[in-house]
Amino acid sequence: MRVVVTGGSGFLGSHLCEALVGRGDTVWCLDNYCTGESLNVAPLRGHPRFRLVRADVTTAFEVPGPLDAVAHLASPASPPDYGRLPLETLSVGSRGTENALQLAMRRGARFLLASTSEVYGDPALHPQPEEYWGNVNPVGPRSVYDEAKRYAEALTMAYRRSIGVNTGIVRIFNTYGPRMRPHDGRVVSTFVRQALEGSPLTLYGDGSQTRSFCYVDDLVRGLLAMLDSGHSGPVNLGNPAECTVRELARLVIEATDSPSTIAFGPLPVDDPGRRRPVVTRARDLLGWTARVPLDVGLRKTVDWFMAQPHPAHRTLGQPLEA
């Protein structure tokens, strides 16, 4: 296939690009680098089936030649990122999504929207099936991301129903693995960075809130399965194994063999208390389930962080550079 991946230099996007090229597809990777990094796709540079284009998808864009699929992953995706880029987050969720849909419509291509479990907000129903409409504060600090994705889902379904575009929606739950930015604000990368520095791991509230952590290789398998299918979704993609944030901290300290202790801070506004996907649709429609246990995935993630040259990734015992 010939596939466009928006946000293709980001954490998830780069892994998707790598998987597509690896199976023989031709990939156009579009990114404006507001949160993505060109280093993430450096191994693909020069590959005959890979094209890297600096582009802002909130303005109309084109790629040459025929096209089979558009995977729309472009968006800031962590609270610190969409907190400092609120207007950009709303713009890529609205104008960016429509521009990507327009491209798919013009070319008769499959369109895949990477939505998020954040559409469920702080859920009143646990675990969360796709039929659940969510509990989102539309004016809270997280709303720029939550509502951008909810709007993107509505827009995607409108293009499917009214114009007949072949669309699919996945709702991605917490994903982790190599290429996470050490200061992106996600809990796994934050804990790993703090543990490798020997700093206290910062838990918000009492650490009893839960998340479901999916290793990136598993998540990408789900994206490929949805991209290759004709299903409209939404389909939850995530690991249904639920873990408290306190337990995650313990596992990270164990994986890094760190002397770090645990510190506590105030719970952020609208921080979800519980999060776990119902993945029946993914299993029945796509034949997909998560395979990588959390302790195994964390070990792989820690190994990658420790191999990086940046001092924020340094191994224990190495001094910070001035």
Token output for 309: 């040259």
What is the identity of the amino acid at 64? P
The DSSP secondary-structure symbol of 255 reads H
* Cα-only R_g, the chain: 19
Which residues are known to be catalytic?
145
d(CA 217, CA 70): 20
**H or E segment and range at residue 175:** strand 175-176
HSE (side-chain half, CA atoms, 13 Å) at 125: 14
Rounded Cα distance, 266 and 166, in Å: 44
Helix H or strand E segment including 281: helix 280-286
Amino acid identity at 107: R
Q: Cα–Cα distances in Å, from 289 out to 15, 113, 114, 142?
A: 18, 19, 17, 29
